[in-house]
């Protein structure tokens, strides 16, 4: 849920920020301030403000996942050749059409790079948060097993984490191959 929320907000905001310098000036400093902070560093604040239930975890994962997508979208807009945008305006496209038919498709490879990065960051943050403040989950299982020196359970947990991460990444790659097939062929 947090990953979907971060994607639904970071993609349009990142594209708009890349396209409009005033919007970027408003949001970029905020993202650049909290992006390098370790998510578990501010998780204690979220738990104090929102409790230990799902609201604090969703907010934590949202914040962890938002920055990579936002930055990738801004970067993607910056890579678009000006002649593509100018050409669209020349043939009579309005701003909305330029955004939908030129900017967004040109940014798709960068958007998917941001989504894949975000998914990895969100997943590792989730597992780490389970180790800090949870009574269930893979992270909790590994931490609990380590207290009782159960290396077999720790290894199983690590293998499950790795396989789940690979599976999630492969799902995003498959979606990317269908939505942006030109990236896999090396075309721009």
- Within 10 Å of residue 118's Cβ, how many Cβ atoms? 26
pLDDT in tens, 138-177: 887 888 888 888 888 899 988 998 999 999 999 999 998 8
The tokens for 62 are 């949202």
When comparing pLDDT for 184 and 69, which is higher?
69
DSSP state of 38: -
Average of per-residue pLDDT values in the chain: 87
Q: Are 50 and 107 in contact (CB under 8 A)?
A: no
Of the pLDDT bands very low, low, confident and very high (cuts 50, 70, 90), residue 57 is confident
**What are the helix (H) ranges across 20-53?**
21-34, 39-50
Residue 188 has a pLDDT of 46
Domain extent for 150: 2-184
Q: Mean of the pLDDT values across residues 39-52?
A: 83
Angstrom distance (rounded) from CA 40 to CA 50: 15
User: Which CATH number is 176's domain given?
Assistant: 1.10.3720.10
Tally of domains in the chain: 1
DSSP state of 150: -
pLDDT in tens, 121-142: 998 888 888 777 667 778 878 8
pLDDT in tens, 89-117: 889 889 888 888 888 888 899 999 999 99
With CA atoms as reference, report the closest residue to 180 among 129, 114, 124.
114
Three-class secondary structure of residue 113 per DSSP: helix
Q: What is the pTM of this model?
A: 0.84
């Amino acid at each position: 849920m947090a990953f979907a929320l971060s994607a639904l907000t970071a993609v349009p905001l990142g594209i708009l920020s890349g396209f409009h310098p005033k919007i970027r000036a408003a949001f970029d400093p905020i993202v650049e301030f909290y992006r390098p902070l370790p998510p578990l560093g501010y998780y204690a604040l979220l738990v104090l403000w929102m409790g230990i239930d799902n609201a604090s975890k969703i907010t934590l994962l949202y914040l962890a996942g938002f920055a990579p997508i936002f930055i990738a979208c801004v970067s993607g807009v910056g890579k678009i050749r000006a002649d593509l945008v100018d050409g669209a305006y020349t043939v009579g496209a309005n701003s909305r059409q330029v955004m939908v038919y030129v900017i967004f498709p040109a940014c798709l490879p960068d958007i998917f790079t941001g989504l894949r990065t975000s998914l990895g960051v969100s997943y590792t943050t989730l597992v780490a948060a389970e180790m800090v403040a949870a009574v269930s989950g893979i992270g909790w299982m590994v931490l609990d097993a380590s207290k009782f020196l159960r290396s077999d359970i720790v290894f199983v947990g690590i293998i499950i984490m790795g396989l789940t991460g690979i599976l999630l990444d492969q799902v995003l790659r498959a979606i990317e191959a269908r939505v942006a097939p030109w990236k896999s062929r090396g075309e721009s």
